[in-house]
Structure 1
Amino acid sequence: MTLDIDAAAAALLGARRSGTRLDALPEGARPGSEAEAYAVQDAVARALGPVAGWKVGAPSATATPARAALHADTIFETERLPASLFHVIGAEAEIAYRFGRDLPPEAGPYDRDAVLAAVATLHPAIEIADTRFATFGAVDAHSQRADQQNHGVLVLGPGLIEWRGLDPVTQRVRLTLDGQIRHDKVGGNSAVDPVRLLVWLANEGARSLGGIKAGQVVTTGSCTGTDFVTAPSRMTADFPGLGSVTLAIE
């Protein structure tokens, strides 16, 4: 059966616009492969407008990464957001890279040095995991991939220009939730090395939507796992040497 990409995208876009949550994607519109999941994700991304950033991650040091395109309406530099934005609130402390120049796919392939040379600033970040489905994580993995890989919002802390002395693999991170330290560790990213994710995104992951472009920010997966909280909640992700970011959801 041929996947109905338009029907899948329409269902996800309708859930975003109305706030109504889906039990599942419609019959005939449920992706059965990574390629189909990305086709739906890309259709949603094109409908939402220009790509302002990306999320990318991997479950291990050798696993193929996964990505989702992000848009300006879910990327913030703020310390406060309304609880009405969210269905669920999954707090994640992350490291994000803002690019200072384009990496067009046709000019690749890019190696590690070339990708890092295009980075302008490094940011402490909090991603809030959320879903357009009724229950977080209840649908199949391909449907979750199609749904922007469970992205809610991305909140950025101040950008660090002199970041090259920082090693994300050995970077310490502390996540505080409502005044209690929930995580305090070194590294913590399941992909181990976030830069590998950036290289994959530049060469493969971002290709179908025009590649990485100047001004886009790429967040590279949680260093702390996902902690689900209820509003009101206040959280701080602190990366010594990089900076910190605080978000209150009320």
Structure 2
Amino acid sequence: MTTLLSAAEELGHLLSDAYSRQATLAIVPDELEPASIEDAYLAQQAFLRRSHAAIGGWKIGSKTEAGPVQGAPLPLSGIHPASSSLRRSAFPVLGIELEIMFCFDCDFTPRPAPIAEAEIMDSISAMGASIEIVSSRIAGWPEVPKLSQLADLQNHGALVIGELCDYRDGFNFRRPEAHLTFNGEDVFKGQGVNPAGDPRRLLSWLVNHCSERGIAIPGGTVITTGSYTGLFFPKAPGMVIGQIAGLPPIHFELS
């Protein structure tokens, strides 16, 4: 018996198939464009199921300090330690962003009631620098509907994670000094600014977003929280080095 898929599930399968073929771009039919943000999140889950992908982390962000938050699960296979070498050809398009990531010291499992922000903040145990590879499976990107981009794991390609250190409440999360280089040339140097303001405000949204959908966040899961340096598109292979003052440096190679 054939099971009919919803439009959100079909979109998730389409994007997952493009993801598995790496450099292939998907053309999204009009009838599969998400009609709502909830449809986009359903497509994300269909994407992961189709890919048989375990969740290895999350990306979250907001375009303004008081604006709405959005996020996406990150496939475990796409999370790489610092000093990795990643093939440029594995990504249809490729941009890089220097970010701050966090981890909790406990599991957050789904609950029937909202989880208090104070409990979530008290559970932050570690932080570090991360570099997200921004990519897309959709032809015509970035000139494609925003909800389709959200369905496409919010334009996620891969995540390189640096060394973690103990969480410090007094860290300068709003305007830390940041330095990003590519092949020895400065991409960004100066005070970094996250569009969300203090990125810790995003964590409460994520925990409750997952709880409402029956998704657990195991302790130690990496959560990356938006760019401090803007988006840079490398034109050739090379070495990427990032530093946010007060956190261990991070680097990887694009081959």
After TM superposition, the structure 1 = structure 2 runs for residues 1-250 of structure 1, keeping only pairs within 5 Å, are 4-19=7-22, 21-47=24-50, 48-79=52-83, 80-106=85-111, 109-204=114-209, 207-250=212-255
Distance between the aligned counterparts of 2:200 and 2:31, measured in 1? Answer: 37
Distance between the aligned counterparts of 1:206 and 1:67, measured in 2? Answer: 14
Per-residue deviation at 1:82?
1.8
Contact 2:22 2:90 in 1 (8 A): no
Number of aligned pairs?
Answer: 249
Residue by residue, what CA displacement relative to the aligned partner does 1:106-158 show, whole Å, maximum 9, x if unpaired? 17533443223222321111001001123331211111110000001100110
User: Amino acid of the residue matched to residue 92 of structure 1?
Assistant: E
CA RMSD of aligned residues (A): 2.0
Distance between the aligned counterparts of 1:20 and 1:182, measured in 2? Answer: 25
Query: 3-state SS of the aligned residue for 2:42?
Result: helix
Distance 1:63 1:145, change over 3 A: same
Structure 1 unmatched ranges of 5 or more: none
Per-residue deviation at 1:13?
1.3
Distance 1:139 1:162, change over 3 A: closer
User: Amino acid of the residue matched to residue 32 of structure 2?
Assistant: A
Distance between the aligned counterparts of 1:98 and 1:178, measured in 2? Answer: 30
Structure 2 unmatched ranges of 5 or more: none
Distance between the aligned counterparts of 2:214 and 2:96, measured in 1? Answer: 27
Distance 1:219 1:17, change over 3 A: same
Distance 1:155 1:171, change over 3 A: same
User: Amino acid of the residue matched to residue 60 of structure 1?
Assistant: T
Distance between the aligned counterparts of 1:101 and 1:178, measured in 2? Answer: 39
Higher mean displacement: 59-68 or 177-186: 177-186
Q: Give the TM-score normalised by structure 1.
A: 0.91
Distance 1:129 1:235, change over 3 A: same
Contact 1:124 1:242 in 2 (8 A): yes
Higher mean displacement: 68-77 or 117-126: 117-126
Distance 1:236 1:144, change over 3 A: same
Distance between the aligned counterparts of 1:157 and 1:107, measured in 2? Answer: 35
Distance between the aligned counterparts of 2:184 and 2:82, measured in 1? Answer: 19
* Percent pairwise identity: 31
Query: 3-state SS of the aligned residue for 2:186?
Result: strand
Per-residue deviation at 1:212?
2.4
Distance between the aligned counterparts of 2:72 and 2:188, measured in 1? Answer: 26
Contact 2:180 2:189 in 1 (8 A): yes
